[in-house]
Chains A and B, each alone.
Chain A
């Protein structure tokens, strides 16, 4: 029977906290960039300009058909040397965080674009017609009339996708980046208490994600009433 020994956790909390900061940093940046880039992809996909629509379709299908961990590895292997040569950074500078964020953002944008595309299509065609009839350009009608309604319908889905993304950030361990999961693993490995640390990390992920999804559900009900 395994004897649990949790004593290495309290001392490691500051290090684990630093890991959590990195996880949250990746999540928040990837969600924000993912939504902006995803919106652009969705607009391209719905565009009547064929090359734009093809590009967006190809992008989305490519990223959705490849495992996330593989995308992260590509970015880990390719982006650092690319950034080094682009910005003239000294060789071996630590761009793991930047490459991880880029990888996540580009990957998530593919998923966000599909959510946003469905959101745009959920707004009745008559709204676009009414905005156009008032003399708004396509861009104005999208920005002022269609997208605000689409996003309102999509908020719960976008947040849920953000929660999944938060869990997925643990995959950055492939680039040896000390996110929360990576930090827990390192501490456990160092102290020979891997099981305890991984259980602890799992519990923390669970509490955060479960709470967040409850909040999303609460918001969803609120929106329904309004």
Chain B
């Protein structure tokens, strides 16, 4: 059974259609890179997966749970799906260690000691043990994003969603974040990443989804996508993004 399965998902803002009949499956352990020009609906698509964005028609099933079903307890579902945002969105009024433990305690009901131990080991894993007692504002962008990844992992998610995780970073900090993501992928985490980092896609992705104007235009293995994108729109996009 697929970890994430989308069937004819459509979404409108008023009369403007942001997503049009998006259908795809993500199997356990797959790393999907979602790319496309800005405004193509790629961020909206992955925000639908954990119900942060509502959609009007179609169906999304995450690990057997229907996201759009009004009976689904979304907070429960979201606690199993990790998400990393473009602007990090760490909680600025909490220390790093608290950022990593608050949801473990309040949502999963772990004890303070257990949560802190988990937080400390994850901080160690992303190479930021030294920063545990600092506040987010004292860290660089790259460090903040690594903390944000660790915060999501602290919930022991069954899959991870990345919404342009490196777009807000200075160029020299992009790699430290991509390295953490690459390692995560190698460990078998199921991931959906919206990103323009085609190098990352080539190294790590199992499949690439290309979107344009709210539609999934290409959904193919990475080799097929990079060597022989079928649609003209994707070819143009690749030409622009790879040759400059």
CB distance from A72 to the nearest CB of B (A): 37
Does A164 make an interface contact (CB < 8 A)? no
Knowing A132-B75, A134-B79 touch, does A152 contact B93 (C-beta < 8 A)? yes
CB distance from A148 to the nearest CB of B (A): 5
- Neighbouring A residues of B89 by C-beta, 8 Å: 124, 126-127, 129-130
Knowing A126-B85, A129-B85 touch, does A134 contact B103 (C-beta < 8 A)? yes
Measured CA separation A168–B67 after assembly (Å): 52
Contact B79 A148 (CB under 8 A): no
- Neighbouring A residues of B87 by C-beta, 8 Å: 124, 126
Measured CA separation A135–B102 after assembly (Å): 11
Measured CA separation A140–B102 after assembly (Å): 11
- Neighbouring B residues of A133 by C-beta, 8 Å: 50, 52, 78, 81-83, 85, 152
Measured CA separation A124–B194 after assembly (Å): 21
CB distance from B132 to the nearest CB of A (A): 18
A-B pairs under 8 A by CB, number: 61
Does B236 make an interface contact (CB < 8 A)? no
Contact A135 B91 (CB under 8 A): no
Contact A144 B85 (CB under 8 A): no
Does B76 make an interface contact (CB < 8 A)? yes
Does B151 make an interface contact (CB < 8 A)? yes
* Residue-wise interface mask of A (134-155) relative to B, using a CB-CB cutoff of 8 A (1 in contact, 0 not): 1111001000110011001000
Across the interface, B91 reaches (CB within 8 A) one of A130, A137, A140, namely: A130
CB distance from B159 to the nearest CB of A (A): 12
Name which of B92, B102, B103 has the most chain A CB atoms within 10 A of its CB: B103
Measured CA separation A132–B87 after assembly (Å): 15
Contact B93 A135 (CB under 8 A): no
* Residue-wise interface mask of B (80-112) relative to A, using a CB-CB cutoff of 8 A (1 in contact, 0 not): 111101010111110000000011001110000
Measured CA separation A133–B106 after assembly (Å): 13
Contact A135 B76 (CB under 8 A): yes
- Neighbouring B residues of A145 by C-beta, 8 Å: 91
Contact B93 A132 (CB under 8 A): no
Measured CA separation A136–B103 after assembly (Å): 7
Which chain B residue lies CB-closest to A138?
B75
Does B211 make an interface contact (CB < 8 A)? no
Name which of A135, A144, A149 has the most chain B CB atoms within 10 A of its CB: A135
Measured CA separation A40–B91 after assembly (Å): 23
- Neighbouring B residues of A127 by C-beta, 8 Å: 89, 91
Knowing A126-B87, A130-B89 touch, does A135 contact B52 (C-beta < 8 A)? no
Contact B75 A137 (CB under 8 A): yes
Across the interface, B75 reaches (CB within 8 A) one of A124, A135, A144, namely: A135
- Neighbouring A residues of B155 by C-beta, 8 Å: 134-135
- Neighbouring B residues of A144 by C-beta, 8 Å: 102, 106
CB distance from B170 to the nearest CB of A (A): 19
Contact A136 B52 (CB under 8 A): no
- Neighbouring A residues of B78 by C-beta, 8 Å: 132-135
Contact B52 A149 (CB under 8 A): no
CB distance from A84 to the nearest CB of B (A): 45
- Neighbouring A residues of B79 by C-beta, 8 Å: 134-135
- Neighbouring A residues of B152 by C-beta, 8 Å: 133-134
- Neighbouring A residues of B91 by C-beta, 8 Å: 127, 130-131, 145, 149
- Neighbouring A residues of B83 by C-beta, 8 Å: 130, 133
Measured CA separation A145–B103 after assembly (Å): 11
Which chain A residue lies CB-closest to B77?
A135
In chain A, residues 102-126, which have Cβ atoms closer than 8 Å to a Cβ of chain B?
124, 126
CB distance from B70 to the nearest CB of A (A): 15
Across the interface, B151 reaches (CB within 8 A) one of A134, A137, A148, A149, namely: A134
Q: What are 28 A-B pairs with beta-carbon distances under 8 A?
A: A124-B89, A126-B89, A127-B89, A129-B52, A129-B89, A130-B89, A130-B90, A132-B75, A132-B78, A133-B52, A133-B85, A133-B152, A134-B102, A134-B103, A134-B151, A134-B155, A135-B79, A135-B155, A136-B103, A136-B106, A136-B107, A137-B75, A140-B107, A144-B102, A145-B91, A149-B91, A149-B92, A149-B93
- Spell out B's residues near A (CB within 8 Å): 50, 52, 74-76, 78-83, 85, 87, 89-93, 102-103, 106-108, 151-152, 155
Sorted nearest first, the 5 A-B pairs with minimum C-beta distance are A135-B79, A130-B89, A134-B103, A133-B83, A135-B107
